[in-house]
Structure 1
């Protein structure tokens, strides 16, 4: 009988130890801190309209020599209803670059040997895919405007007849 009692006692100690181990996470100091994090951001500005830029109609003879270009066509990307908490907006451009002439946007139309060049109309800096430009938001009107211009370029010359099409992806960051 004595052996049975000691086994029973050992089992009772094991059960008690197991229960205490599971209960230990509940035994915390009264002043334990829990960290909670969140981010609150301002609502974005509204894009006034997505501009469709018409680069015009030219004959292939306008783009026969290497480096030949067409006339610049100005356009703007306008934002409105910017939150009063935002003072600047940064535009980052994306899109498909030409595989050979990576400073230009790829022409996905049917004309060959033609790429699309886009620059900042305010300072003439190239706005090729991957570049960014930053401007201030007007604090009174809560608007911002990115002036740009585009043209067709034939880096190697010998442009063929057809369509010229390209896309720019616009991503806005607010500060």
Structure 2
């Protein structure tokens, strides 16, 4: 009886194994994706801020390359998740037609002519932040925030600046790691 039970069990195992092989093909499913860092919050005081250069005398912007004094400003990101260690800002805007490393001033009636805006890292004014460049700042692990220290100035790439408004937009797009 024991022998018959073993033979029957063996035949079920073989039949089950054969049925598995006959049932169909093995299918691989590839799963892809990317885990990204949760974004920080841009501080309300940094969103849509205005850097005011006040009045600049046209006589100071007569020769090509003449510029105003640098004006410091900062952009702060906060409430960063603990796992986020770096904030990267990529700069964009309309490049000046005579120097692509500068941002164009407005072209509406009443806007100053022959001037552009230059943006740089505040600590190193030679680190120009033109269209398409990036800047990385480490997130403080205690405050979960980071500050982008920047500076801007008005410059005349061609000389002979004409009177009018200074009106330019520089965008910063953030990514996090």
Query: Match of 1:28?
Result: 24
Counting only pairs closer than 5 Å after superposition, residues 88-103 of structure 1 correspond to structure 2 as 88-103=86-101
Alignment partners' CA distance in 2, 1:36 and 1:115: 48
Larger radius of gyration between Structure 1 and Structure 2: 1
Is the contact made by 2:97 and 2:104 (CA closer than 8 Å) also made in structure 1?
yes
**Segments of 4+ in structure 1 off by > 4 A?**
none
SS at match of 1:61: helix
The answer on 1:68 being equivalent to 2:66 is yes
Aligned to 2:10: none
Query: 1:55–1:150: 8 Å Cα contact kept in structure 2?
Result: no
How many angstroms apart in 2 are the aligned matches of 1:119 and 1:38? 35
Give the counterpart of 2:128 among 126, 129, 136.
126
Determine which of 19, 25, 36 is the counterpart of 1:41: 36
SS at match of 1:103: coil
Unaligned runs of 5+ in 2: 1-22
Deviations 1:9-56 (A, max 9, x none): xxxxxxxxxxxxxxxxxx424x64433333332321100032211122
* Structure 1 unaligned regions, length at least 5: 1-26
Q: Confirm or deny that 1:115 pairs with 2:110.
A: no
User: Which residue of the other structure, out of 153, 156, 159, is the alignment partner of 2:155?
Assistant: 153
| Alpha-carbon distance in structure 2 between the residues aligned to 1:67 and 1:39 | 46
Partner Cα distance (1:37, 1:155) in 2? 48
Query: How big is each residue's C-alpha offset from its partner over 1:124-150, in whole Å with a ceiling of 9 and x where there is no partner?
Result: 200111111111100110000110000
